[in-house]
């Protein structure tokens, strides 16, 4: 049982970290696309 936990925990931790990272990347991408839209809007106003 103990060796199962020892083997399983790093994988679970890695999966959790991966999930957090992908979530953070998703949020970052969404922010960037909003920013890009904002820049495009300003460019249209200037043009």
Task: Kindly report the pTM of this predicted structure.
Answer: 0.53
Give the number of domains in the chain.
1
Q: Find the domain containing 14 and state its range.
A: 1-47
pLDDT recorded at residue 5: 61
CA distance 34 to 13: 32
Query: For residue 41, is pLDDT > 70?
Result: yes
pLDDT in tens, 6-35: 666 777 778 878 888 889 999 999 999 998
Retrieve residue 11's tokens: 């994988």
Q: How far apart are CA 19 and CA 5, in angstroms?
A: 20
**pLDDT (0 to 100) of residue 4:** 64
- Judged against a pLDDT cut of 80, whether residue 37 lies above it is answered with yes
Question: Phi-psi category of 8—alpha, beta or left, where left has phi over 0 and alpha has psi -120 to 50?
Answer: alpha
Q: What angle do CA 28, 38, 34 make, to 5 degrees?
A: 25
């Amino acid at each position: 049982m103990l060796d199962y936990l020892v083997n399983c925990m790093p994988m679970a931790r890695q999966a959790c970290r991966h999930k957090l990272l992908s979530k953070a990347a998703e949020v970052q991408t969404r922010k960037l696309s909003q920013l890009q839209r904002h820049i495009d809007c300003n460019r249209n106003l200037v043009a």
